Amino acid sequence: MTDNGEVARLLDRHPANAPGDWYVDTRCIDCGACRQLAPDTFTQARGQSLVAAQPDPGEAHTAAWRASVACPTQSIGTLSRQPRPEGLFPQELSDGVYYCGFNSEHSFGANAFFVRRPRGNFLVDAPRWSRRLARPIEELGGIDDVLLTHRDDVADAEQWASRFGARVWIHADDADAAPFATDHLEGLGDTEIRPGLVAVPLPGHTKGSVGFVLEERYLFSGDSLAWDSDRGDLTAFRHACWYSWSEQAASLGRLAVRHRFSWVLAGHGGRHEAHDDEMNRRLVQLVERMTRR
């Protein structure tokens, strides 16, 4: 259930769901968030996510609930109308780096991340606005900066920034999508937001796409780079490249030379952790494949 009381619609329950309590309704937009969170429960079929197997009690059940809350169309529910547990989000992934859940339909279900650091907390892209998420973020110290990777994933950024009095950063080439932004990134050069946090322009998916590298460990990649769990490799989305595929390959090539990361945290697509040498090797190989196409 969302703050406005919306729930999954039983009358729209997809007939191909596995028999049992959990289901996905036909409003699903196939953003993939549920499959990232609970791959043993949800699968993809004909442009929609479905319940492939009912979750067992325990971790699988918790993962299914996280998927339900993250779903941007609130299309995941239970026939028994089970009460939703509290404390599902933000979900800590690593050392003060959290996945927000509450994905927004306005960003086609993009992932957003919250990071807690002594030099200032920040949000990367924006989840849908929810008091259920704002309260625990406030308890963790609030938000000092909202960092937008590109025009597609702005969602409710203005409301989050207003609630916490945060600065908002976006590249000038995508700035018309966030007229409320306080700070514009320029050109192709890196910008240090604060020590250890660098904005890296990655034009390609959109002209103003940006990645954010934290501590040479975490890459918040927006829609420029992701982990493909099926192939077990880094990937980029040519079918969703709105500006220039060749520019995207070039910008990822510059990223491979300038920075290291062991985590890739994508707006769309999977997230993954591996040794930074392996990630760099895979990124270089991806760029080579992109330039051959």
Q: How far is Cα 109 from Cα 105, in angstroms, rounded to an integer?
A: 5
Mapping DSSP onto H, E and C, the string for 17-70 reads CCCCCEEEECCCCCCCHHHHHCCCCEEECCCCEEECCCCCCCHHHHHHHHHHHH
pLDDT at 11 (0 to 100):
87
Spans of the chain below 70 pLDDT: 1-6, 293
Neighbours of 278 (CB within 10 A): 11
Q: What's the predicted TM-score (pTM) here?
A: 0.95
Q: Domain segments of the chain: what residues?
A: 10-78, 91-292
Does domain 91-292 fall into CATH 3.60.15.10? yes
**What are the Cα distances from residue 71, in Å, to 2, 8, 57, 64, 225?**
10, 10, 21, 10, 22
Structure tokens at 165: 């009095």
Write down the pLDDT at residue 2.
42
- Nearest 5°: the CA angle 86, 88, 89 is 120
What is the β-pairing status of strands 272-273 and 183-185? unpaired
Half-sphere exposure of 17 (CA within 13 A, CB side): 25
CATH code of the region 10-78: 3.30.70.20
Looking at residue 288, its pLDDT comes to: 98
Per-state percent for the chain, helix, strand, coil, to nearest 5: 30, 25, 45
